[in-house]
Amino acid sequence: MREDLYSILEISDREIAKSFAKKLKVKIGTLDYFNDNCIYPDADLIKKILDERPNLSEIEIKIRLGHIDNEVLTLLQNNVKNIAEYGIPTQANPFQRQLPEPNFATPLGRLFNADCIQTMRNMDDNTVDLIFADPPFNLDKKYESGMNDKISKTEYLNWTEEWVSECVRILKPGGALFIWNLPQWNTYTAEILNRYLNLRHWIVADMKYSLPIANRLYPAHYSLLYYIKGDQPNRFNKEGLPLEICRHCGGDIKDYGGYKNKLNTEGMSLTDVWKDISPVRHKKYKNRASNELPLNLLERIISLSTNEGDLVFDPFGGSGTTFVVSEILNRRWIGTEIGPIDLIQERFEDLSFPTFLINDIQNSKNALFTEDMKKIRRKNNHWLPENL
């Protein structure tokens, strides 16, 4: 577990922090920067800290900050016998795991109105085919659960490592783990996952809001990590996309020249940049006040990495999109949501509209042109595979 710099230095309040900064002859903002961002201080500051705190060592600060570089790793490896004598605490009764009765159930799924970590601790090892996780982003957003979405970076990263580790444990060999988050957080999550799983893809979901942002590059995408347990995925189903065309005249956006006859008639290969995932904004599709993931995102992930009857798990249920799509696609599912689950239950009362949308998505893929695209192209005398 990481600690922040102030806890290591036994700085408990703002006045003590200011006093310590004054002793070091540095600005309080400098100390705040290294503390708030979980960054190891530079050489000059470390020297000043050690002069002022002779009871600490550089190695101790590195370890307690979670900064395990090659120097620290070598030290730990050289002293592994001594460290092993202390042992690592294990969970009591690790082989007696059993889920309680769900708070809501369907023919295919079980939903628990509970903390995801506690629920996962009751799940057996190596049992889930696909895990999709969309954790809170720690941006101080208001959620129906009333949870605190603005904790320190250290707390957030420690919590992330805890739930991610449980996901790794319950995932089947060959199973897939997808994590949707801001790039800044997924860089840390990838660091955790690289110890246990195999990175398949870092997927970019292109989302532009056109809001003015000063003094930085405009953030225009979400990060979607795709890891598997082992060398090869158990499932990797074809996802061919229609060719991009002008929505007005149906003409080509890109000139394929003499290569048109070489294009796959079952659609263009799915890349690791997804431009067709849009945030849910319209009230016709939106089911709760806070953020909600679009159906086509979950349809793609579940269709790509599972088959009918496989087990899907989502630790952060939110509005229940993962569960709805899993049910429609005939996948078994388990989910948790720490906040109210009444909105999720209401969505299952009538699945006709989401089923229509999912069917429309599935009928539009694995083909170079949809039927509607063919109609507008014929009308405007654009080429089609059959008349090349």
Question: Domain ranges in the chain?
Answer: 5-84, 104-235+272-349
d(CA 114, CA 386): 55
Nearest to 338 by CA among 189, 120, 179: 120
Count the helices and strands in the chain (H runs, E runs): 15, 11
pLDDT tier at 6 (50, 70, 90 boundaries)?
very high
- Asked if the model's pLDDT at residue 95 lies above 60, the reply is no
Per-residue DSSP letters for 153-177?
A: HHHHHHHHHHHHHHHHHHEEEEEEE
Q: Output the pTM of the full model.
A: 0.90
Class of domain 104-235+272-349 as given by CATH: alpha beta
pLDDT in tens, 265-323: 999 999 999 988 876 554 555 554 445 788 999 999 999 999 999 999 999 999 999 99
pLDDT in tens, 27-86: 999 999 999 998 999 999 999 999 999 999 999 999 999 999 999 999 999 999 988 888
